[in-house]
């Protein structure tokens, strides 16, 4: 993950660092409330209890403040993600249970972070910096999901297990992101029962990976 301070100048004093941290917190808070960057730096400063000048002392623009906030949130999620996928499956776990656990893990990560992810994902098409870092985050998630599946390679009969594992993550992520209103179709949020969707996805991925040889 990119350095969260790549778009901000290093503080000269600890007080300055704490003040800027509050400004980043305030920017994230406003993003979550409004689901878009429809606020000014003056509003960020007011909510953070700092001066607008102090924010400009660390960043050159609102865009750089948002990029800093995004990088910080992605770094936090990267840590969560690493902790969510254990190196080995629990002893005695069946392959269908492994798939179900991994699908639920992706669901839990996305649902917990959806309020923050949603506005940043809307910014992505207009900000290549945010888009690239978001893509890196997805690649990390896909790699962790795929590695956990491939660790159970003895149960996978698909002739291209690596491609199949990556594709499974693509499908799972896409369906759950749509339910959570992430991306370009927020009107589709909440369609269907969440738990049933997770169960159906787990069944579909299991069948895809273990369905026998393909021509």
Which CATH number is associated with domain 14-62?
A: 1.10.10
Residue 146: C-alpha distances to residues 46, 113, 158 (Å): 44, 21, 14
Contacts of 209 (CB under 8 A, 6+ apart): 99, 149, 155, 156, 157, 158, 161, 164, 165, 168
CATH top-level class for 85-210?
A: mainly alpha
Band (16; pLDDT cuts 50, 70, 90) = confident
Provide the b/e sequence for 10-41 (b: ≥16 CB within 10 Å): ebeeeebeebbebbbebbbbbbeeeeebebeb
Instruction: Answer yes or no: pTM beyond 0.85.
Output: yes
Give the start-to-end residue ranges of the domains of the chain: 14-62, 85-210
Return the axis-axis angle of helices 95-123 and 194-210, rounded to nearest 10°: 120
Is residue 3 predicted with pLDDT exceeding 80?
Answer: no
What is the pLDDT at residue 198? 98
Band (6; pLDDT cuts 50, 70, 90) = confident
């Amino acid at each position: 993950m990119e350095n969260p301070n790549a778009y901000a100048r290093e503080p000269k004093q600890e007080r300055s660092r704490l003040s800027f941290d509050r400004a980043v917190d305030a920017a994230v808070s406003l993003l979550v409330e409004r689901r878009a960057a429809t606020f000014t730096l003056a509003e960020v400063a007011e909510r953070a209890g700092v001066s607008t000048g102090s924010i400009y002392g660390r960043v050159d623009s609102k865009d750089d403040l948002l990029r800093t906030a995004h990088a910080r949130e992605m770094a936090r999620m990267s840590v969560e993600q690493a902790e969510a996928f254990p190196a080995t499956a629990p002893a005695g776990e069946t392959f269908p249970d492994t798939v179900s656990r991994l699908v639920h893990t992706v669901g839990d990560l996305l649902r917990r972070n959806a309020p923050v992810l949603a506005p940043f994902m809307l910014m992505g098409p207009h900000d290549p910096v945010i888009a690239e870092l978001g893509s890196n985050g997805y690649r990390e998630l896909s790699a962790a999901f795929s590695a956990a599946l491939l660790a159970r390679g003895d149960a996978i009969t698909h002739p291209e297990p690596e491609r199949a594992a990556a594709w499974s993550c693509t499908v799972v992520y896409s369906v759950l992101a749509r339910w959570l209103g992430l991306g370009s179709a927020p009107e589709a949020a909440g369609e269907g029962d969440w738990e049933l969707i997770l169960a159906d996805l787990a069944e579909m991925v299991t069948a895809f990976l273990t369905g026998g040889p393909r021509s």
